[in-house]
Structures are given as C-alpha cells and as structure tokens.
C-alpha cells in the first residue's frame, strides 16, 4: 500500500511539475505576443507633432512653421499693397488743397455811391480783381472773386442767402455810400461813426470749417487789411492836404472833429466779418468725420458676427429664406445700433435744433445715420460673400479710406479725381448732418437719395452673390454624393 501510495504521490508531483511548466510557457508566450503587438503599435504610431511638446524652432514642426510664416508674410504684403493704393488716396486728398484755393469762388459787391463811383468801392474792386489774377500773392494762394452788380443782390439779406445757399463761399460788400458817410462824419464830428460799417465780409463756416479757417477767412481778411491800410493812409494824406489850403477856422474845426470822432482819422475805413453759420460745437467733429468711420466699423462688426452665426443655420435653409435672412437681419440689427449712436450725442449738446425743432432734428439725424449704416453695412455683407472673412478686411480699408478722403475737406479743394465723392455715402451723410446741426444748404433729398441708392444696390448684390455661392456649394455637395454612392 505504501508503495502504491508512494507511486501515486510521485505521479502527482510529476503532474504538478508539468502544470507549472505549462503555465510558465503560456505566460512567456503571452508576454512575447504582447511585446510583439506593442512593437507593432509603436511602429504604426504617428511620428508627427504632439500637442504641448515642442519648442518654436523644433524640426518636427517645421512644416507648420512654414505655413505660419507664409500666412504672416502674405498678410504683410497685402497690407503694404493696400497701404500704397488707399493711403495714398487719402494723402492725395489733403496734400494739394492749397493749390486748388482758386476753386473757391466769392462775390464783390460795390454799393459805394449811386453807381459805385465812391473812392473806397473803386479801391476794393480793383484790389480784389488784382488778387483774383494772382497779383501780389504767392501762386494760387487766393480765391477767385467775381464783381457783381449791386442790383443782382440788392440787399444784405440777398447776399447772405447767396452765401448760405452755397452759390459762393464768401462775399465782400462795400456798403452804401461808404465814402460819403466818412466825409459827412468828419465834417459833423460824428462820434458815433463806426469804420466797420464801411465793408461787410460774409462767410459760411458751417459749410466746411477747414476751408473757412484755413483759406477763406485768412486770405480775405489779409487782403482787406492790406488794402484798407493803404487806402486809409492815402485818404488821410488827401484829407490833411486839403486842410492845409483851408482857412484857420476850418483847420480848427477839423482838429475839434478829430478829437470828438477819432475814428474818422485813425482808421477811417474798416470791415466787419459776419459768420452766417458758425461752427458752434467742437464735438460736432465727432459726427461729421470720425463718427462716420465708427458707423462703418459698427456695421462691419455686425457683418462678421452674422457671417459666423448664419453658418450654423444656412446649410439647412432653402435659397429664398437664406437670401431674405442675409438682407433683412442686418437691417434690423442696424436699428438699435444707429439709435444708440445718435443718442450718444445728446449729452454733448450737439445743435440738433439749428434748422428744425430739437426733437425733429434728432430723429432726422437718426434716420440718416441708419441709412448710412445700412448702405455701408450691406456693402460689406455683400463683399464678404466673395472675399470670405479672410480677405474682407482689405475691402473695409478701401471702403473707409475712399469715403473719408472726400469728407474731410471740400471737393473744390481736391483734384478732379475726387469728384466721385458726390456719389459716396459718407460725403452725403456728412452734408446731411451739417444741414441738420448748422442749418446749411438743404440737400437732404439728394443726400437721402444717394444713401438709398447704395442700400438698394447692396440689397441686389447680397442675394446675387449668395445665389452664386449657393449654386457652387450645391454642385460640390452633389459631387460628393456621387462619389459616395456611384451610379452602377
């Protein structure tokens, strides 16, 4: 029994030994297979860039770095090209203004004497005619003056109306009987005589403050002062020469008169400047020029936001719905934006009541801001379809500079190329604002017509460009569908 038991035990031990060997072999095989698979996986694993693991000049991201520099380089090149194309346009609009000063027209009206025979009137007419020919001044540093008969503008109100209605930029009037009034004041020792009543200089600063302050007022006043200084000296010489041949009593009377009415001798003739439409608020500059740039930028922000937002829903819309969305959604968003822009001006006392009631002027201002924002904003909405968000900013540069170039100084002071500005939104919006806040010439109908024309043009081009893009997208989608499901 013992031997049998021993035999059984020996067999069990042998079996156990074999089982351990089998487990060991199996484990070794499993480890080998795992190692082999890991080696295969490592071989198959991508060797490209890994996130958050590289320095900028790491060779493994050289291809990405090349794309990065290419994008930056092309942007710099495009901006330089845009700079030379469009910045030069703006510089050009300002650079030659002094060479075009003769394009500013003015009237000279002589009422001195029944038929203009007064000595002062004749002297002023001769001086202004010579100035128009460029005599005594640097080349082109003068206005062009036209002498008109006093019957054409018989009253001061008529002269003022001609300047306000922009028939001319300025007018110089030698007032009625200016020469004989001085003679009478000297003989009667009239102490109330005012030399400034001799000549009146009318101008309209609200039409364009740069033209008025830089050219019209300085050039005209300089001409008047030099002419009157010379003429007053000549008049006094003649007056005192006539006294030398008079009796002592006449000389005594003249001396008493000069004491009582010193202005009849010290400066017998002068002038009075009348600013018919003053540029009353410095804050007005914000709505006349810089504010127009803000209007374009605000509408462009809506364009960019709308481009991102409509991409979520546009693939699921039929074309008519999509086209209406592209046109009318921006037009609705412009309403609160333009109203807010208009309201920002209220605390700064912009003179909305200059022509209409304050409330009426404010709401009219809002309407024009909305029309400008709509015309300019939908233009960017149309162009983003073609240029895509990547390149539409270059169109924005062009849009801003081409508009601002014709709104800062009068087109009369710019080369003829800039006459395109008469049909551009910012020029017409600026003119409308000047009418509302300064009561300048009323061209609101024309200004609104130009802005509406831009709006209508964009309302046509937005659906047109959208249709062209949608047709291309549909063709691409069809092609993909055929590639996935080829027809056998």
The 3-class SS string of 330-352 reads HHHHHHHHHHHHHHHCHHHCCCC
- Distance, in Å, from the CA atom of 453 to the CA atom of 302, rounded to the nearest integer, reads 21
Give the max Cα distance, the chain.
184
- pLDDT tens, 297-338? 999 999 999 999 999 999 899 999 999 999 999 999 999 999
With tokens 């919006």, the residue in question is 429
For 101, other C-beta atoms within 10 Å of its C-beta total 20
DSSP letter string over 412-451? GGS-GGGGGGGGSHHHHHHHHHHHHHH-----HHHHHHHH
pLDDT at 12: 47
Adjacency order of strands within the sheet including 199-203: 144-148, 105-110, 170-174, 199-203, 271-275
pLDDT at 487: 57
- Distance, in Å, from the CA atom of 245 to the CA atom of 242, rounded to the nearest integer, reads 6
pLDDT at 16: 44
CA angle 398, 404, 410 (to 5 degrees): 140
**Given the DSSP bridges, would you call strands 271-275 and 199-203 parallel, antiparallel or unpaired?**
parallel
pLDDT at 460: 96
Helical spans, DSSP H, in 55-177 = 62-82, 88-95, 119-132, 156-164
According to DSSP, residue 112 is labeled S
Task: Give 10-residue mean pLDDT values along the chain (488 residues).
Answer: 44 47 51 50 61 90 94 94 92 91 97 83 96 92 95 95 97 94 84 92 96 96 96 85 64 67 84 94 84 95 95 92 96 97 93 94 97 96 95 95 94 95 96 96 96 97 94 84 69
pLDDT at 334: 97
- Distance, in Å, from the CA atom of 405 to the CA atom of 94, rounded to the nearest integer, reads 8
Q: Produce one character per residue of 208-222: b if its CB has 16 or more CB atoms within 10 Å, e if not.
A: bbbbbebbbbebbee
pLDDT at 145: 97
pLDDT at 357: 95
| Alpha-carbon separation of residue 311 from 92, 306, 316 (angstroms) | 40, 8, 10
For 408, other C-beta atoms within 10 Å of its C-beta total 18
- Distance, in Å, from the CA atom of 238 to the CA atom of 233, rounded to the nearest integer, reads 9
Are the CB atoms for 412 and 104 separated by under 8 Å? yes
With tokens 């400047």, the residue in question is 273
Are the CB atoms for 469 and 382 separated by under 8 Å? no
- Distance, in Å, from the CA atom of 375 to the CA atom of 329, rounded to the nearest integer, reads 14
- Long-range (24+ apart) CB contacts under 8 A made by 249-255 are 254/186
- Distance, in Å, from the CA atom of 452 to the CA atom of 459, rounded to the nearest integer, reads 10
């Amino acid at each position: 029994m013992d031997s049998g038991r021993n035999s059984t035990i020996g067999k069990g031990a042998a079996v156990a030994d074999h089982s351990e060997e089998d487990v060991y072999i199996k484990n070794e095989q499993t480890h080998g297979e795992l190692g082999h698979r890991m080696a295969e996986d490592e071989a198959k694993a991508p060797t490209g860039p890994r996130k958050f693991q590289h320095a900028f000049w790491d060779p493994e991201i050289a291809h990405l770095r090349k794309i990065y520099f290419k994008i930056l380089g092309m942007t710099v090149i495009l901006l330089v090209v845009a700079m030379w194309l469009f910045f030069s346009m703006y510089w050009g609009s300002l650079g030659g203004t002094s060479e075009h000063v003769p394009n500013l027209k003015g009237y000279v009206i002589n009422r001195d004497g029944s038929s203009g025979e007064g000595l002062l009137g004749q002297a002023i007419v001769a001086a202004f005619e010579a100035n128009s020919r460029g005599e005594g001044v640097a080349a082109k540093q003068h206005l062009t003056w036209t002498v008109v008969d006093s019957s054409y503008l018989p009253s001061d109100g008529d002269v003022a109306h001609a300047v306000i209605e922009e028939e001319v930029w300025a007018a110089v009037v030698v007032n009625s009987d200016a020469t004989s009034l001085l003679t009478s004041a000297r003989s009667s020792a009239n102490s109330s005589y005012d030399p400034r009543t001799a000549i009146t200089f009318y101008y309209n600063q609200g039409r364009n403050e740069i033209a008025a302050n830089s050219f019209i007022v300085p050039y005209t006043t300089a001409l008047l002062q030099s002419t009157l200084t010379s003429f007053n000296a000549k008049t006094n010489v003649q007056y005192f020469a006539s006294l030398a041949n008079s009796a002592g009593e006449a000389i005594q009377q003249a001396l008493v008169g000069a004491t009582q009415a010193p202005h009849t001798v010290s400066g017998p003739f002068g002038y009075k400047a009348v600013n018919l439409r003053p540029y009353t608020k410095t804050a007005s500059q914000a709505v006349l020029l810089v504010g127009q740039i803000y209007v374009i930028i605000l509408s462009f922000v809506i364009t960019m936001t709308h481009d991102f937002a409509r991409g979520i829903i546009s693939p699921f819309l039929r074309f008519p719905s999509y086209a209406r969305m592209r046109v009318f959604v921006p037009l609705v968003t412009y309403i609160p934006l333009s109203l807010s822009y208009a309201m920002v001006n209220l605390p700064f006392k912009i003179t909305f009541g200059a022509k209409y009631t304050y409330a009426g002027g404010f709401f009219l201002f809002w309407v024009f801001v909305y029309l400008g924002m709509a015309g300019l904003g939908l233009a960017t909405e149309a162009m983003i379809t073609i240029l895509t968000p990547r390149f539409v900013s270059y169109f924005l540069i062009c849009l801003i500079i081409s508009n601002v170039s014709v709104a800062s100084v009068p087109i009369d002071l710019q080369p003829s190329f800039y006459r395109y500005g008469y049909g551009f939104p910012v020029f017409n919006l600026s003119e409308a604002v000047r009418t509302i806040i300064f009561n300048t010439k009323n061209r609101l109908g024309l200004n609104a017509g130009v802005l509406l024309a831009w709006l209508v043009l964009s309302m046509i081009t937005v659906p047109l460009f959208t249709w062209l893009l949608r047709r291309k997208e549909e063709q691409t989608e069809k092609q993909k569908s055929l590639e996935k499901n080829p027809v056998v």
